[in-house]
């Protein structure tokens, strides 16, 4: 199932369908001010417009992020030149319920910065926020995302955002797949990953979505 889903996703990329959708809906955060020693972030919509879309998946190390106040998932994968995916590291930033929100956000920031320093990814991919009716929940999720994005941006990484449905399509070929199905598919697709905890497999899914859909800008 996972292999068939991957083939279908690759076929969509070759046909241009995925590229068109990415151009219309992709979002990328970049930090132009890191070299200038300021903490100014810029959100750029339509990420694919800034990239020349070419065939084949990207090569390099990618950090995937699944944000949550109490359990942010982080996963680092490498896309090899031969098209295989290699597992490097993953972890869950577990924040105890006794910790205050500022303490949780600080821990998310520090753990994200630390894994970037250890693994040297070329970019990061994060799950896009979905519509949340509860205002408090939306604020908490937004703050968690902001902590991880800030850590990546200050490290000089571009941060790409993908909708949950697109991530599941990239990993398993079905946008309504369960977390368990995503975890099993990540295990099949990524060499050395094994069965990861849900938060980490979701983070790996974000990295896989970026690897399969983002195209390197031609020089």
Q: Report pLDDT for 28.
A: 55
pLDDT at 179: 83
Q: What's the confidence (pLDDT) of residue 215?
A: 59
Question: Residues 10, 16, 19, 24: what is their CA dihedral angle, to the nearest 10 degrees?
Answer: -140
| pLDDT at residue 206 greater than cutoff 50 | yes
Catalytic residue among 78, 127, 158, 161: 127
> Is residue 127 annotated as a catalytic residue, yes or no?
yes
* Percent of the chain clearing pLDDT 90 (strictly above): 55
Evaluate whether 129 touches 141 at the Cβ level (below 8 Å). Answer: yes
pLDDT number for residue 147: 97
pLDDT at 62: 98
State the catalytic residue, choosing from 78, 158, 199, 200.
199
Q: What is the mean pLDDT of the chain?
A: 78
> Active site includes 188?
no
Active site residue 199: yes
More confident position, 164 or 75 = 75
Structure tokens at 214: 């983002």
Q: pLDDT tens digits for 17-45?
A: 333 344 434 555 444 433 332 232 222 32
* Tens digit of each residue's pLDDT (9 = 90 or more) over 125-172: 998 877 667 888 888 889 999 999 999 999 999 999 999 999 999 898
Alpha-helical segments (H) within the chain = 2-15, 17-25, 101-119, 135-154, 164-172, 179-189, 198-213
Query: Which domains are seen in the chain, by residue range?
Result: 2-213 (3.30.420.10)
The pLDDT of residue 186 = 95
Higher pLDDT, 46 or 214: 214
Tens of pLDDT along 83-117?
A: 999 999 999 999 999 999 999 999 999 999 999 99
Of 66, 78, 161, 202, which is the active-site residue? 66
């Amino acid at each position: 199932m996972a292999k068939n889903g991957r083939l279908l996703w690759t076929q969509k990329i070759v046909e241009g369908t995925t590229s068109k959708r990415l151009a219309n809906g992709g979002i990328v955060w970049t930090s132009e001010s890191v070299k200038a020693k300021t903490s100014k972030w810029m959100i750029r919509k339509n990420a694919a417009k800034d990239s020349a879309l070419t065939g084949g998946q990207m090569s390099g190390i990618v950090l995937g992020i699944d944000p949550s106040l109490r359990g942010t998932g982080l996963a680092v994968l490498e896309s090899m030149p031969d098209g295989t995916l290699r597992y490097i590291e993953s972890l869950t930033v577990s924040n105890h319920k006794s910790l205050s929100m500022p303490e949780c956000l600080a821990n998310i920031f520090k753990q994200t910065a630390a894994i970037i320093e250890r693994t040297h990814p070329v970019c990061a991919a994060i799950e896009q926020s979905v519509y949340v009716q509860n205002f408090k929940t939306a604020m908490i999720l937004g703050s968690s995302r902001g902590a991880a994005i800030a850590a990546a941006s200050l490290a000089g990484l571009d941060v790409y955002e993908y909708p949950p449905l697109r991530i599941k399509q990239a990993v398993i070929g079905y946008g309504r797949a369960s977390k368990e199905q995503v975890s099993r598919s990540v295990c099949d697709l990524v060499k050395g990953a094994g069965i990861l905890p849900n938060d980490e497999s979701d983070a790996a899914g974000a990295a896989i979505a970026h690897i399969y859909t983002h195209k390197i800008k031609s020089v």
